[in-house]
Amino acid sequence: MSIPDWHSPTTHPDPPGGALLDWLSGEGSLTRRLIAAGRDDFRVQVLGESQQPARPDEAAALGLASGHPVWIREVLLHSAGAPRVFARTVADLQAFNAAGVHLENLGSRSLGELLFSDPRIHREPIEISRYPAAWMPAEQRAEGCWARRSLFASERLQLLVCEVFLPGWPVAA
Protein backbone atom coordinates (compact mmCIF):
# COMPACT_ATOMS: atom_id res chain seq x y z
CA MET A 1 0.00 0.00 0.00
CA SER A 2 1.30 3.43 -0.83
CA ILE A 3 0.95 6.54 1.29
CA PRO A 4 -0.83 9.44 -0.44
CA ASP A 5 1.44 11.96 -2.16
CA TRP A 6 -0.30 15.25 -1.39
CA HIS A 7 0.20 18.30 -3.65
CA SER A 8 -1.74 21.47 -4.36
CA PRO A 9 -4.09 21.07 -7.35
CA THR A 10 -1.94 23.49 -9.37
CA THR A 11 1.38 21.73 -8.69
CA HIS A 12 0.31 18.07 -8.73
CA PRO A 13 2.55 16.20 -11.23
CA ASP A 14 -0.36 14.21 -12.74
CA PRO A 15 -3.72 15.76 -11.77
CA PRO A 16 -7.04 14.48 -13.04
CA GLY A 17 -8.79 16.52 -15.67
CA GLY A 18 -12.13 18.16 -16.23
CA ALA A 19 -14.96 18.08 -13.75
CA LEU A 20 -13.09 15.98 -11.19
CA LEU A 21 -10.27 18.52 -10.88
CA ASP A 22 -12.87 21.26 -10.51
CA TRP A 23 -14.54 19.35 -7.65
CA LEU A 24 -11.20 18.54 -6.01
CA SER A 25 -9.97 22.13 -6.09
CA GLY A 26 -13.26 23.85 -5.16
CA GLU A 27 -12.76 26.04 -2.09
CA GLY A 28 -16.40 26.27 -1.04
CA SER A 29 -18.50 23.84 0.94
CA LEU A 30 -18.55 20.37 -0.59
CA THR A 31 -21.80 19.73 1.29
CA ARG A 32 -23.51 22.65 -0.45
CA ARG A 33 -22.17 21.55 -3.82
CA LEU A 34 -23.39 17.97 -3.31
CA ILE A 35 -26.81 19.24 -2.22
CA ALA A 36 -27.07 21.33 -5.40
CA ALA A 37 -25.80 18.52 -7.65
CA GLY A 38 -28.25 16.05 -6.11
CA ARG A 39 -31.15 18.50 -6.33
CA ASP A 40 -31.46 18.60 -2.52
CA ASP A 41 -31.14 14.81 -2.21
CA PHE A 42 -28.30 14.71 0.35
CA ARG A 43 -27.58 12.81 3.53
CA VAL A 44 -24.67 11.96 5.81
CA GLN A 45 -24.12 8.33 6.83
CA VAL A 46 -21.89 8.10 9.89
CA LEU A 47 -19.57 5.09 9.62
CA GLY A 48 -17.82 5.65 12.93
CA GLU A 49 -16.25 8.00 15.45
CA SER A 50 -13.40 6.86 17.63
CA GLN A 51 -9.97 7.46 19.10
CA GLN A 52 -7.18 5.99 16.94
CA PRO A 53 -3.46 6.48 16.37
CA ALA A 54 -2.72 9.06 13.66
CA ARG A 55 -1.54 7.76 10.30
CA PRO A 56 1.87 9.12 9.27
CA ASP A 57 0.50 11.56 6.65
CA GLU A 58 -2.21 12.79 9.04
CA ALA A 59 0.23 13.25 11.90
CA ALA A 60 2.59 15.25 9.66
CA ALA A 61 -0.25 17.51 8.49
CA LEU A 62 -1.32 18.18 12.07
CA GLY A 63 2.24 18.61 13.39
CA LEU A 64 1.99 15.49 15.59
CA ALA A 65 4.13 12.42 16.05
CA SER A 66 3.08 9.41 14.01
CA GLY A 67 0.78 7.25 16.11
CA HIS A 68 -0.28 10.18 18.33
CA PRO A 69 -3.86 9.64 19.60
CA VAL A 70 -6.42 11.43 17.44
CA TRP A 71 -10.18 11.63 17.19
CA ILE A 72 -11.53 10.24 13.90
CA ARG A 73 -14.94 10.67 12.26
CA GLU A 74 -15.66 8.75 9.07
CA VAL A 75 -18.79 9.31 6.99
CA LEU A 76 -20.24 8.71 3.56
CA LEU A 77 -21.82 11.69 1.85
CA HIS A 78 -24.80 10.61 -0.27
CA SER A 79 -26.13 12.71 -3.13
CA ALA A 80 -28.60 11.90 -5.90
CA GLY A 81 -29.43 8.57 -4.27
CA ALA A 82 -25.96 7.06 -3.81
CA PRO A 83 -22.76 7.43 -1.78
CA ARG A 84 -20.50 9.91 -3.60
CA VAL A 85 -17.77 10.86 -1.12
CA PHE A 86 -16.02 9.09 1.75
CA ALA A 87 -14.87 11.69 4.30
CA ARG A 88 -12.42 11.28 7.18
CA THR A 89 -11.93 14.01 9.77
CA VAL A 90 -8.95 13.88 12.14
CA ALA A 91 -8.29 16.04 15.22
CA ASP A 92 -5.60 15.95 17.91
CA LEU A 93 -7.42 14.31 20.82
CA GLN A 94 -5.86 16.59 23.46
CA ALA A 95 -6.68 19.78 21.54
CA PHE A 96 -10.12 18.43 20.70
CA ASN A 97 -10.92 17.87 24.39
CA ALA A 98 -9.34 21.18 25.51
CA ALA A 99 -11.21 23.24 22.90
CA GLY A 100 -14.57 22.11 24.25
CA VAL A 101 -15.80 21.50 20.71
CA HIS A 102 -18.43 18.81 20.58
CA LEU A 103 -18.03 17.38 17.10
CA GLU A 104 -18.91 13.98 18.46
CA ASN A 105 -22.49 15.29 18.82
CA LEU A 106 -22.88 16.06 15.10
CA GLY A 107 -24.64 12.77 14.43
CA SER A 108 -25.83 12.69 10.84
CA ARG A 109 -25.39 16.43 10.33
CA SER A 110 -22.69 17.56 7.93
CA LEU A 111 -19.41 18.80 9.39
CA GLY A 112 -19.33 21.28 6.49
CA GLU A 113 -22.35 23.07 7.95
CA LEU A 114 -20.34 23.78 11.09
CA LEU A 115 -17.03 24.62 9.41
CA PHE A 116 -18.42 27.06 6.86
CA SER A 117 -20.78 28.80 9.28
CA ASP A 118 -18.23 29.61 12.00
CA PRO A 119 -16.25 32.79 11.18
CA ARG A 120 -13.51 31.76 13.64
CA ILE A 121 -12.59 28.77 11.46
CA HIS A 122 -10.41 29.26 8.38
CA ARG A 123 -9.40 26.80 5.71
CA GLU A 124 -5.78 26.12 4.77
CA PRO A 125 -4.91 25.35 1.12
CA ILE A 126 -6.34 22.21 -0.47
CA GLU A 127 -4.06 19.30 -1.37
CA ILE A 128 -4.96 16.41 -3.71
CA SER A 129 -3.73 12.84 -4.15
CA ARG A 130 -4.82 9.36 -5.13
CA TYR A 131 -6.13 7.60 -2.02
CA PRO A 132 -5.16 4.08 -0.93
CA ALA A 133 -8.03 1.64 -1.48
CA ALA A 134 -7.04 -0.16 1.74
CA TRP A 135 -7.96 2.98 3.74
CA MET A 136 -11.50 3.12 2.36
CA PRO A 137 -14.59 1.39 3.78
CA ALA A 138 -14.84 -2.19 2.46
CA GLU A 139 -18.06 -1.57 0.50
CA GLN A 140 -16.58 1.47 -1.30
CA ARG A 141 -13.04 0.15 -1.72
CA ALA A 142 -11.71 0.99 -5.18
CA GLU A 143 -8.28 1.59 -6.67
CA GLY A 144 -7.31 4.99 -8.03
CA CYS A 145 -9.85 7.22 -6.29
CA TRP A 146 -8.89 10.86 -6.00
CA ALA A 147 -9.04 12.70 -2.68
CA ARG A 148 -8.55 16.17 -1.37
CA ARG A 149 -7.66 17.31 2.10
CA SER A 150 -7.22 20.54 3.98
CA LEU A 151 -6.80 21.79 7.50
CA PHE A 152 -9.58 23.78 9.10
CA ALA A 153 -8.22 25.79 11.99
CA SER A 154 -9.43 28.07 14.74
CA GLU A 155 -7.53 29.52 17.68
CA ARG A 156 -7.73 26.30 19.69
CA LEU A 157 -8.37 23.46 17.26
CA GLN A 158 -7.16 22.03 13.95
CA LEU A 159 -9.19 19.54 11.96
CA LEU A 160 -7.78 17.66 8.99
CA VAL A 161 -10.61 16.87 6.60
CA CYS A 162 -10.03 14.38 3.79
CA GLU A 163 -12.71 13.80 1.14
CA VAL A 164 -12.40 10.85 -1.26
CA PHE A 165 -14.45 10.98 -4.44
CA LEU A 166 -15.96 7.56 -5.08
CA PRO A 167 -15.98 5.99 -8.57
CA GLY A 168 -18.41 7.65 -10.97
CA TRP A 169 -18.51 11.01 -9.19
CA PRO A 170 -18.66 13.66 -10.43
CA VAL A 171 -20.67 12.57 -13.42
CA ALA A 172 -18.82 13.44 -16.62
CA ALA A 173 -20.28 16.54 -18.25
| Contact partners, residue 93, CB within 8 Å, separation at least 6 | 51, 68, 69, 70, 71
Mean pLDDT of all residues in 113-140: 88
pLDDT class of 173 with cuts at 50, 70, 90: very low
Beta strands in 93-145 (DSSP E): 122-123, 127-130
CB burial of residue 74 (10 Å; 0-12, 13-18, 19+): buried
- Give the model confidence (pLDDT) of 129-156 as tens digits: 999 999 999 999 999 999 999 998 888 7
**pLDDT at residue 92 in the model:** 87
CA atoms within 13 A on the CB side of 81: 0
- Give the model confidence (pLDDT) of 22-33 as tens digits: 999 999 889 989
Cα 133 from Cα 121, distance rounded (Å): 30
Beta bridge partners of 74: 48, 88
Tell me the pLDDT of the chain averaged across its residues. 88
**Has residue 100 got a pLDDT over 60?**
no
Among positive and negative, which fits the CA dihedral 65, 124, 129, 45?
positive
**Has residue 21 got a pLDDT over 80?**
yes
Q: Which of 156, 69, 80, 161 is nearest to 113 (CA)?
A: 161
CA atoms within 13 A on the CB side of 1: 10
Q: What is the DSSP letter of 7?
A: B
Give percent of the chain with pLDDT exceeding 90: 62
Q: What does pTM read for this prediction?
A: 0.90
**Has residue 48 got a pLDDT over 70?**
yes
CA 166 to chain centre: 12
**pLDDT at residue 101 in the model:** 58
Cα 167 from Cα 139, distance rounded (Å): 12
Mean pLDDT of all residues in 86-115: 74
Mean pLDDT of all residues in 3-27: 94
